[in-house]
Chain A
Amino acid sequence: SQQGEEDPQALSIQEGENATMNCSYKTSINNLQWYRQNSGRGLVHLILIRSNEREKHSGRLRVTLDTSKKSSSLLITASRAADTASYFCATVLNDMRFGAGTRLTVKP
């Protein structure tokens, strides 16, 4: 069963712009993770943020977590056409549940 909601459902930007995706969830979590999926194939783990962390960076990725609001955001800076993919947040307590996902299109 799906854990949370992501918005927007779809996002289209120009290369070089920043992309921000949001994730809301319903239950307590141990950590929250973001994954990327190209063309309906396997998912690639991007970043993990623990429930006691508020912000984390990895290269062009910046993730924030607000446990009081049960929400997270993923920021991709200086986007590239190769960033075009679907992005999912996943919450972890006893197992991992995915949010609905955001379809990002980066136009060259």
Chain B
Amino acid sequence: DTEVTQTPKHLVMGMTNKKSLKCEQHMGHRAMYWYKQKAKKPPELMFVYSYEKLSINESVPSRFSPECPNSSLLNLHLHALQPEDSALYLCASSPPRGNILYGYTFGSGTRLTVV
């Protein structure tokens, strides 16, 4: 299995809702990442997990809460989002320090719309 699976593919949520994005990989990668991408812009790094521990948080607002329950699964919990948080949320994985030697494997993303 050489894929990163993200669910759901599309999500519409109100500003008072709580929802979660899910990302799963079975490649044995021990580093996982969340990126946010606005339309016609490059992906921006949000969080990095290495060996299930949060290693980088790019000053992301607390309404985004990441969780890595095990080495195969990465969640992004969403609460009280704003319309400007509407974007494509991309999950990626790599071997440990894989960014040094290998590329990342990306999921196809969750397109989030906040209304």
By a beta-carbon cutoff of 8 Å, the part of chain A in contact with chain B is 1-2, 30-31, 33, 35, 40-46, 48, 88, 92, 94-101
Q: List 27 A-B contacts (CB under 8 A).
A: A1-B44, A1-B58, A30-B99, A30-B100, A31-B99, A31-B100, A33-B103, A35-B106, A40-B37, A40-B109, A41-B108, A41-B109, A42-B106, A42-B107, A43-B43, A43-B104, A43-B106, A44-B106, A45-B106, A48-B103, A88-B42, A92-B100, A96-B33, A96-B104, A98-B42, A98-B43, A101-B42
Q: How far does the Cβ of A86 sit from chain B's closest Cβ, in whole Å? A: 9
User: CA separation between A88 and B90, bound complex, in Å?
Assistant: 15
Q: How far does the Cβ of A59 sit from chain B's closest Cβ, in whole Å? A: 15
Given contacts A42-B108, A95-B48, 4 further A-B contacts (CB under 8 A): A35-B106, A41-B88, A43-B90, A98-B43
By a beta-carbon cutoff of 8 Å, the part of chain B in contact with chain A is 4, 33, 37, 39, 41-45, 48, 56, 58, 88, 90, 92, 99-109, 111
Which residues of chain A are within 8 angstroms of B43 by Cβ–Cβ distance?
43, 88, 98
Given contacts A2-B44, A101-B42, contact A92 B105 (CB under 8 A): no
The main secondary structure of chain A at its interface with chain B is: strand
